[in-house]
Structure 1
């Protein structure tokens, strides 16, 4: 380093002008690598859950549109894309991020082609038999709000960028007398649209819709009840002279689920679809649209479209409001600006370039959902199937509750409180409009999908209300939260029986505690006492004879204890083993510790829990960062009087479980949760128990992290965490100061952050066992 300094001084003396030439700092968006996590690979993950399952395409913060490549329809390929796949089916306008269960969306699939028209995508191993194409991996690029790739079956470059409700694609064609843009209107990740309609509006415009019902698979292959309609209004830069529709004859007796749609029989039927040149309007079960034209070498042809979940008029309004002309670069620059504004709410200094890339990409992934569900007009589809006008909030959708209550929503309470407020309003209005009158745990496009377990909506509402985010009807929200707790609970016996006995009992106990907290804040004393008491129901599935949590039968008896004991995956649990799930008592750590035999025994057990984790932190039977139920566990050490272990292990997880690579996430992104955990932990603050107003203090990855606060919800403008002498070796907090005053607590109140100010941490290479002890 000293040699470099000498060289720099010599250059300055020889060429003084260099002293005035500064390399500008990279913007936050410039650090984003959308390929992080963009793999489904089960083989690389070592478990059927796969890896990150993110998508690399263009999006805007919390936007309705995600323009992204789709590689295969089948498999547990929720984002529509997986990096290890060698071909691309097309480029869709809607995607989900980081999900399993088959996925959904992937609608309005656009593909540039040349030569004879092919109406089916074709098999993966023979892409030439369909419109699918191989592509040049080394010529695939992505950044925040932009994606491009070189297709290689025919040399066509595809580029795309997005606006909140619309997007634009630019295709660079070779010289060809029969070039084409074709749109598969039936395409849907995990299934198919069940009814489509398209019409030619004028010589540059088409409009229509795709109806997607559970009969067509999708979310949970139909079990997830996803039932939505995507409307589109699309325009072409080249006039419609030679165009048409293709329509596959799908017999009424045929199934439309994923296995049916991907079968050879079904695909052969699509491949021999009737091609109807010049047809200006068509409705049917499996439609596509195409427009053909001659191109010169390197000629660009563009398509832009607005989408809506309300109406064609809404899609048109969205497009007209956001993309008025054919200036691709202008749209891209606007998307980049939106991302820089959104990501600029957090500023980090120090750390390596890789750590900054991981950080800002994680922050980027935390801002894909919950996405806008309303048009620029404010209209949105209600839970009653009618069109509603939003008032006082922005309607949002995609609430991956079981995942995101842990880190994703606590992160947004600091940097995007209005988004949290919107989502609560969206859940509450859905419960009212649908007539269900309870909070859905995994909402997708108004569907009460029932995915996963617990009552996470109660957690999110309680956490927000406790932190002063209250621009919603609190009494109605409380009523629906209470209805939820009464509908899904541990019953009069105080525990859940059956195959998920442990997971259900612990999750419901936590949600009941949250409801008790909310009742207390709303001065409902009787309910506060009742539900807070139910928060202790976790004790009812703890068996002292085996020294751990154990599933129970309905008659009160214990289920047989397996030879693997608490290490058996799925024994009374979901996506965990009892060893992992058993730590989920964030609402009552002292009570949990007493049940388990005291602090020393628990610390020894947790030492094993972390020490046996594989170096790469992939799916395992101990601390399994690849899945959510253990995400709070590193912060237990703060409450156990050993905060240096929280510091040690969060830094280790940030280093070992997150990387700047396609396989850089050890588990599903899960709609922002995996990334939000990193953003908070790397910032030195993370909640142990959402619903409480406390954040646990841990070892930051960076020298400083500044949160820009929302003036509607905060008294201060910024809150900064400073880590003096921070490095890969200096991971332990020695001393702390809050706004210049010595600070001895290993937690921080949300109110202290909202006041603005500074938390300073002195870092060192050895544990300081006298700091932060409770």
Structure 2
């Protein structure tokens, strides 16, 4: 029986996989990074934290398997887990801090109705199911798996809606059940469901900080998911379950995952035939008899605005029950999006890594504008815009470094949308500053610095200007005044180095915006403050050192600059201390000159472990060092930038579940790879200079957006490229000799061709000119 089941599953998969024959979607492997395992990572941060489920570029809906609610598991999934809770319609990708979303959890079941999920250790005690690992398939826009309960689950999506196809065994008590309370990192605090007709339910799930979620409530996530769901099989034997949660019970993550709380959920009252209910912990089920291999489908639209919005989203996107047609449209959307960068050469693994990185970089910042232009405002009201698409999940501290600079080349309209989203959010929430890490309109305050100021400065410098400059500058100035080194010239302990250096950089960014806005005094003030990094450099130690509130040095540790968390967030002073992108020359002078800095950097990389997992030297698993390989270009040794970016691409990225050495961080880890594999990357967003490095591929062609660029495409050719020929010997730009190791963004958007001639030994003459 099991063999017959697997053969049927494999045949169905091969049929669906035929739509991937055309690259580049066929190269995408959503399992890359799909692990939250701290054991595999060797550190508390875990690995990639991506999810393997179905999605479309920057879509609102992600239908994905969820294996866990608790712990630091933002995607709700980890590949080593052996059972599945269900398939949720919203997910986060690559983030730490406990996570959120994972709403509208749908699960096919048979036999006895369970109202709680059960646990990883005891899946048979709830509605969880084990699954046959060999049948788990994840492709761009599609996911499928064979569950241990003999149900085959398949899912695909449109931008605002999703559809699931469950193929059941012969059974008199087959079922679809929807856990409306479920939320990664906690629980939704209030739900409502109503049976509309014999095929349809509608409702909502309110998620507030007292129900945990983002940062276990500390991230202030407060949102409502509205849904409209339709079933292909009539609702005849259905009901609602409702757990009696006492008013005085706390409902943070540790509470809702406790044995006491889950016991109460398992004892929920089942209201057979109930048509409408509001409550603290609700679920809905519909039961039916199935024949062998009978497919039963459910499709749903979601909205963060209203039930009407969810209904309209589904009606506009999935008009019938043709699962395969929805799947094909999803693949077409991915092929169109991924084709913005075409590559030639490289190994198959490198192509898979590249296009999967492209895929992961195109999940966020996602749209939360409904098909009719309505979006949820920061004031809790519905707003309408035709000028931009409202976007959410701005992982600022991570993405200002590579992700947003990448999108400024391949998706400049997205950058424009994001800036408008942040500016209007501040106005709607009546805040006079920009958020660092936004999630569904929440001012979470996560991480540090003023990354939104960097994104705006970078966009404006690149000619991406479809927003109110004066408002953007006013908010940027207010941000660096509210969060900055100020007149004191430094930020005191405990994270003095990270804060002081990051604030100095965004002061420089604010200065660029002041100049653009015609504020000469502001320009002078913020440029002066951008030099405040010098105030925490200890000449005796030859490195940056944290200060207390009175300006005294903190005691120097025995480990010296290798001491983790010594004045530095998620890093050590050796890693964080290189972050002076706005004034590399000034930094080098402080550190003792070029020769000393080059030697120090070479040692920094040489001591990095071969696998590039979490370490005290070049720690690619975390963001503070992501610009560091490109400092060699600024130091007159561009061959070392070429050597080390190629090494990082080869050693830190693989076609495997553990193929990312650190958290994906909402596109940042992947964007670094994309830019570096193309042969370009900035040191200082806000400056249009793009560093040139050794491309992984023989030819890279970037399609340009005519609304923002003069040219149609920009091509980078690496002649004689190979795994050994990683060094640039000479270059031509549009047929003319080119001697610089950098190129201006304007030269890229003008269109043309950059030709690089590669060799196996370093050229000590090319690229020295600055």
Query: In the alignment, what sits opposite 2:14?
Result: none
Aligned partner of 2:229 among 222, 234, 249? 234
- Aligned twin of 1:388: 383
Instruction: Tell me whether 1:69 sits opposite 2:39 in the alignment.
Output: no
1:206 to 2:208 alignment: no
Show the 5 A alignment for 1:487-506: 487-506=482-501
Structure 2: how far apart are the matches of 1:472 and 1:89? Answer: 43
Structure 1 match to 2:700: 705
SS of aligned partner of 2:134: strand
Shift, 1:238, TM fit: 0.1
1:675 maps to what in 2?
A: 670
Deviation (angstroms), 1:26 = 4.0
- Inter-partner Cα distance in structure 2 for 1:327 and 1:50: 39
CA pair 96-317 structure 1, distance change in 2 beyond 3 A: same
How far off its partner does 1:522 sit?
Answer: 2.5
Deviations 1:92-115 (A, max 9, x none): 000000011000000000000000
User: Which residue in the other structure is 1:59 paired with?
Assistant: 55
Q: Which residue of 1 aligns with 2:723?
A: 728
In structure 2, the residue matched to 1:473 is 468
1:461-504 deviation digits (Å, cap 9, x = unpaired):
00000000000011111111111011101132100001010000
1:513-552 superposed Cα distances (whole Å, 9 cap, x missing partner): 0111111222221111111111111001110111110000
Counterpart pick for 2:301 among 284, 306, 309: 306
**How far apart are the structure 2 equivalents of 1:762 and 1:461?**
35
Post-superposition CA distance 1:36-83 (Å, at most 9, x none): 000001011111000000000000000000000000101100001000
Distance (whole Å) between structure 2 residues aligned to residue 607 and residue 397 of structure 1: 39
Pair 1:444 & 2:444 matched: no
* Shift of residue 446, structure 1, vs aligned partner: 0.1
Spell out the pairing of 1:497-576 with structure 2 (5 A cutoff).
497-576=492-571
Alignment partner of 1:646 is 2:641: yes
Q: Is residue 87 of structure 2 the alignment partner of residue 91 of structure 1? A: yes
**1:35 alignment partner in structure 2:** 31
Counterpart selection for 1:427 from 422, 430, 436: 422
SS in 1 for 2:488: coil
For the 8 Å contact 2:175–2:286, the answer to whether it is kept is: yes
Per the alignment, do residues 369 and 173 of structure 1 end up closer, same or farther by CA in structure 2, a change over 3 Å counting?
A: same
Counterpart in the other structure of 2:318: 323
**The one of 131, 155, 162 aligned to 2:150:** 155
TM-score (norm 2): 0.97
Q: Distance in 2 between matches of 1:31 and 1:556?
A: 54
2:141 maps to what in 1?
A: 145
1:149 is paired with a residue of what secondary structure? Answer: strand
Q: Which residue of 2 aligns with 1:16?
A: none
SS in 1 for 2:684: coil
Distance in structure 1 (CA, Å) of the matches to 2:550 and 2:89: 51
Instruction: Quote the residue 1:113 is aligned against.
Output: 109
- The 5-angstrom pairing of residues 297-376 of structure 1 reads 297-376=292-371
Q: Counterpart in 1 of 2:16? A: none
1:78 equivalenced with 2:74 (yes/no)? yes
Which position in structure 2 is the counterpart of 1:11? none
> Equivalent residue for 2:9?
none
Does the 8 Å contact 2:579/2:624 carry over to 1? Answer: yes
Give the secondary structure class of the aligned counterpart of 2:665.
coil
Aligned to 2:393: 398
- Specify the SS of the correspondent of 1:59: coil
Correspondence for 1:20: none
CA positional deviation for 1:438: 0.8
SS at the partner of 1:671? coil
User: 2:508 and 2:523 mapped to 1: Cα distance?
Assistant: 9
Once residues 694 and 519 of structure 2 are traced to their aligned partners in structure 1, the CA distance between those partners, rounded to angstroms, is 38
Distance 1:26 1:310 in 2: 37
Q: How far apart in 2 are the matches of 1:614 and 1:201? A: 59
Unaligned ranges ≥5, structure 2: 1-18
| Counterpart-to-counterpart distance in 2, 1:173 and 1:217 | 35
In 2, Cα distance between equivalents of 1:98 and 1:556? 37
CA distance in 2, matches of 1:638, 1:25: 40
What secondary structure sits across from 2:132 in the alignment? strand
Q: Deviations over 1:227-265 (max 9, x none)?
A: 000000000000000000000000011110000000000
Report how many aligned residue pairs link the two structures: 751
Q: What is the aligned partner in structure 1 of residue 620 from structure 2?
A: 625
User: d(CA) in 1 for partners of 2:138 and 2:508?
Assistant: 43
CA distance in structure 2 between the partners assigned to 1:229 and 1:316 by the alignment: 15
Instruction: Name the SS of the counterpart of 1:43 in structure 2.
Output: helix
Matched, 1:608 2:603: yes
User: Is residue 486–residue 529 contact of structure 2 (8 Å, CA) maintained in 1?
Assistant: no
TM-aligned CA distance change 1:752 to 1:25, over 3 Å: farther
**2:20–2:331 contact (8 Å) kept in structure 1:** no
Separation in 2, partners of 1:270, 1:593: 60
Q: Which residue does 2:8 correspond to in 1?
A: none
SS in 2 for 1:58: coil
1:127 equivalent in structure 2: 123
CA RMSD of aligned residues (A): 0.9
Aligned to 2:114, what secondary structure does the other structure show?
Answer: coil
Verify the 8 A CA contact 2:193 2:204 in the aligned structure 1: yes
**C-alpha displacement at 1:24, in angstroms?**
11
Q: Secondary structure at the match of 2:575?
A: helix
Residues 658-697 of structure 1 aligned to structure 2 (within 5 Å): 658-697=653-692
State the Cα distance separating 1:734 from its structure 2 match.
Answer: 0.1
Asked whether the equivalents of residues 20 and 26 of structure 2 are also in contact (C-alpha less than 8 Å), the reply is: no
- Give 1:635 shift: 0.2
Q: Deviations over 1:316-339 (max 9, x none)?
A: 000000000000000000000000
